């Protein structure tokens, strides 16, 4: 069981998720600081120097901290928008990679078809070259005769004793 847990924990998806959580926590701190220290004070300048974090609605002994809630909503919107941009960029990159892989697969299919056709054409060419000729020319009367003939049917010359390299 310990071995199975080790395999589970060391798989890429678990490690990627752990890294994502750690980076997400650090990113959340940066965004919170951005909202609390820059954006909300800038908004406070336009709204009459209101500090949103101190906005409280008190009813009896209960206090509703709607200023902190507004700050958290702004914080959330910035994080959500950042994640949207990151995922959108990743999807564009992923789609381009997918398109390139599809093009490569199509090229590979084309190359296989071409190779198959060339191989078939080459085999046909070789078979045509290696085929025994059907006719030959009689060296005596120059008539076209069967390639396997041993006697010319036109001049009745004996071709079995004739060496094609010899001269008459």
pLDDT tens, position by position, for the chain (168 residues)? 788 777 766 666 777 777 788 888 888 888 888 887 888 788 778 777 667 777 888 888 888 888 888 888 888 888 888 888 888 888 888 888 888 888 888 888 888 888 777 777 676 666 655 566 788 888 888 888 888 888 888 888 888 776 554 444
Q: d(Cα 67, Cα 77) in Å, to the nearest integer?
A: 15
In a domain, 52, yes or no: yes
In a domain, 148, yes or no: no
For the chain, what is the domain count? Answer: 1
Q: The domain that contains 65 carries what CATH number?
A: 1.10.1200.120
In a domain, 136, yes or no: no
| Alpha helix positions (H), the chain | 2-10, 12-34, 40-46, 66-130
In a domain, 140, yes or no: no
pTM of the model: 0.46
Torsion angle of alpha carbons 144, 147, 152, 158, nearest 10°? 140
In a domain, 139, yes or no: no
In a domain, 146, yes or no: no
Cβ(34)–Cβ(18) below 8 Å? no
In a domain, 157, yes or no: no
Structural domain containing residue 115: 2-130
- Could you tell me which of 28, 34, 127 has the C-alpha nearest to residue 80? 28
pLDDT for residue 165: 46
In a domain, 156, yes or no: no
Q: Which residues pair with 144 in a beta bridge?
A: 137
Phi, psi dihedral angles at 60 (to 5 degrees): 65, -125
CA 89-94-99 angle, to 5 degrees, is 130
Cβ(153)–Cβ(167) below 8 Å? no
């Amino acid at each position: 069981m310990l071995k199975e847990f080790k395999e589970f924990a060391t798989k890429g998806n678990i490690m990627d998720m752990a890294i994502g959580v750690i980076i997400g926590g650090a990113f959340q701190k940066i965004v919170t600081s951005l909202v609390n220290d820059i954006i909300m004070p800038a908004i406070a300048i336009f709204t009459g120097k209101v500090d949103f974090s101190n906005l409280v609605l008190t009813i009896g002994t209960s206090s509703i901290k709607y200023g902190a809630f507004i700050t958290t909503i702004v914080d959330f919107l910035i994080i959500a928008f950042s994640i949207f941009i990151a995922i959108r960029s990743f999807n564009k990159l992923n789609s381009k990679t997918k398109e390139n892989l599809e093009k490569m697969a199509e090229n590979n299919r084309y190359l296989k078809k071409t190779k198959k056709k060339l191989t078939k054409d080459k085999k046909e060419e070789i078979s045509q070259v290696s085929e025994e000729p059907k006719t030959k020319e009689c060296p005596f009367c120059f008539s076209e005769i069967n390639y396997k003939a041993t006697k010319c049917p036109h001049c009745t010359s004996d071709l079995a004793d004739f060496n094609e390299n010899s001269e008459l």
